[in-house]
Amino acid sequence: MKFSAISDLFAHRQTQMFTSRVSEKMRVSAKELSTGLRADQLAASGGDVSRLHAIDAELTRMGGYGDAISAARGRLDATQAALETIRTAGEAIGIDLLSEVKLQDLQGALAHAADARAAFESVVATLNASYGGRALFAGAQADGPALLDADAILSAVTALTAPEITLTGVQAQIDGYFLAAGGAFETSAYLGSGADASDVEVAPSERIAFDVRADADAFRKLLAGLATAVVATEGHFTGGDAMVLPLLQDAAERAMGAMGDLDDIRLTVGVRQERVERAADLVAGRKSALELARTSILGKDQYEAASEFQALESQLDAAFTVAVRMSNMRLVNYLR
């Protein structure tokens, strides 16, 4: 009886070990069946996995480029959208205002210039936009606004123009604030970095620059034009009404003059967007080639994988059947 008990225990243990081995083989076989790739890389590569490791390393590098492409695409798209918003704001003031000024229609010009403050605020807010937690137009400065808020800038400008009694005097103050090297715009209104944001490598030997900053001449010219319209419409100068129409003409011409520079920036950003898409195609093609090369080494025929899985499944079923029968036999012997 003692010998029989030991034999039963040994047989049970053997069955457990066999079942465990088959279960593990089934897990591996199931993975091969779902992925179409052999689990044993060493055997699949003929004992030399160096080429396989090189392929995997290159796939990882291509994956990094994929992340960089996604980030660059989003940042450039956000920049292009912001530039369109800025152009629309400036154009809305400049075109209509210039038409009324040429007709010498002061009331019509004032009506079109009434939105100058709102347009100025819109441009400043857009230049302070961010993407992915990083300021778009502040250069190397990742966080924080690129510009002082619109009200603060306009307050500074109107304080400068208030004492002026001539058109040239008002124009000089506005030029001094926005356009002069070392002027107030550079020293107090622009809060970003004087250095550009870091460029991004989106493919081998392909880097994308992010050098559009809020202190670019195009934006400064447009802000100067809109600020001139604010000064004219809100009466922030000592000179009489005779100065209003010339100031509005100056404002419209400044705003429209900035459009060409803005379009140049938009074109540059557009070219970079195209380069990112070409890089995306290159990286995708490279990844596909690498994955094909990897599959040529590790690939497993699906019919073969399914047959192996079914054979293992049959072995496991047989092992469970034997275990159940052994258990039943021990119960019968005990009852006897």
Report how far apart the first and last C-alpha atoms of the chain are (Å, whole number). 13
φ and ψ at residue 200, rounded to 5 degrees = -130, 130
Q: Can you read off the two tokens belonging to residue 48?
A: 């030399």
Q: How far lies 152's CA from each of 97, 157, 219, 334, in Å?
A: 25, 9, 17, 96
Q: How far is CA 28 from the centre of its chain?
A: 39
Q: Can you read off the two tokens belonging to residue 56?
A: 């995997």
- Of 222, 199, 208, 198, the closest CA to residue 268 belongs to 208
Which SS3 state, helix, strand or coil, does residue 200 take? strand
* Residues whose CB falls within 8 Å of the CB of residue 262, separated by 6 or more in sequence, listed in order: 83, 86, 87, 90, 218, 222
Compute how many other C-beta atoms are within 10 angstroms of the C-beta atom of residue 101.
23
pLDDT in tens, the chain (336 residues): 444 555 555 555 666 666 667 566 666 656 655 566 665 555 555 666 778 888 889 999 999 999 999 999 999 999 999 999 999 999 888 887 888 888 888 888 888 888 899 999 999 999 999 999 999 999 999 889 999 999 999 999 999 999 999 999 999 999 999 999 999 999 999 999 999 999 999 999 999 999 999 999 999 999 999 999 999 998 878 777 788 999 999 999 999 999 999 999 999 999 999 999 999 999 999 999 998 887 777 655 565 656 665 665 666 666 566 656 555 555 445 445
Q: Contact 24/262 with Cβ under 8 angstroms? A: no
Please give the model's pTM, rounded to 2 decimal places: 0.76
- Of 282, 274, 266, 134, the closest CA to residue 198 belongs to 134
**Rg over CA atoms, the chain:** 37
The pLDDT score that the predictor gives to residue 274 is 97
Q: Can you read off the two tokens belonging to residue 148?
A: 């002082």
Q: Contact 59/99 with Cβ under 8 angstroms? A: no
Q: Are strands 130-131 and 206-210 parallel, antiparallel or unpaired?
A: unpaired
Q: Can you read off the two tokens belonging to residue 144?
A: 């924080």
Q: Contact 131/140 with Cβ under 8 angstroms? A: no
H helical segments located in the chain: 2-35, 41-44, 50-102, 106-113, 116-127, 150-161, 167-178, 184, 217-234, 244-298, 302-335
Tell me the residue length of the chain: 336
Q: How far is CA 218 from the centre of its chain?
A: 24
Q: Can you read off the two tokens belonging to residue 103?
A: 């007709």
CA–CA distance, 310 with 144 (Å, rounded to integer): 62
